[in-house]
């Protein structure tokens, strides 16, 4: 443990470069993964209607044809308009 502490207090040039590379890799992975996780978490209808002002709209939505339809495909809060045809037909246009 003492050797590790001394190495951290007085790093050599080689260890400094390795430390910078390791830190860069960790930051790079975080910059790739965290946005995807954030989008996945916030792209749910439950997240969309978690605001108290959206509760009446959500109740109305649950009674609409957009929520209950024969094909089982729902128009969700996060569904983009560019995929409208895919949602209706099940295939890309």
pLDDT score for 79: 59
Tokens (6 digits) for 43 = 């792209």
Distances (CA, A) of 74 to 10, 59, 69, 86: 60, 15, 8, 12
Summarised one tens digit per residue, pLDDT across range 30-85 is 999 999 998 888 888 788 788 777 888 888 888 888 777 777 777 776 655 444 44
* Model pTM above 0.75: no
pLDDT score for 55: 82
Average pLDDT over residues 20-26: 93
């Amino acid at each position: 443990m003492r050797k590790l502490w001394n190495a951290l207090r007085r790093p050599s040039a080689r260890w400094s470069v390795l430390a910078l590379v390791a830190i860069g890799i960790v930051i790079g992975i975080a910059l790739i993964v965290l946005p995807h996780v954030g989008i996945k978490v916030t792209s749910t209808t439950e997240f969309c209607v978690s605001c108290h002002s959206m509760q009446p709209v959500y109740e109305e939505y649950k009674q609409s044809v957009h929520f209950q339809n024969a094909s089982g495909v729902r128009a969700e809060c996060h569904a983009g308009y560019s995929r409208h045809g895919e949602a209706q037909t099940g295939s890309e246009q």
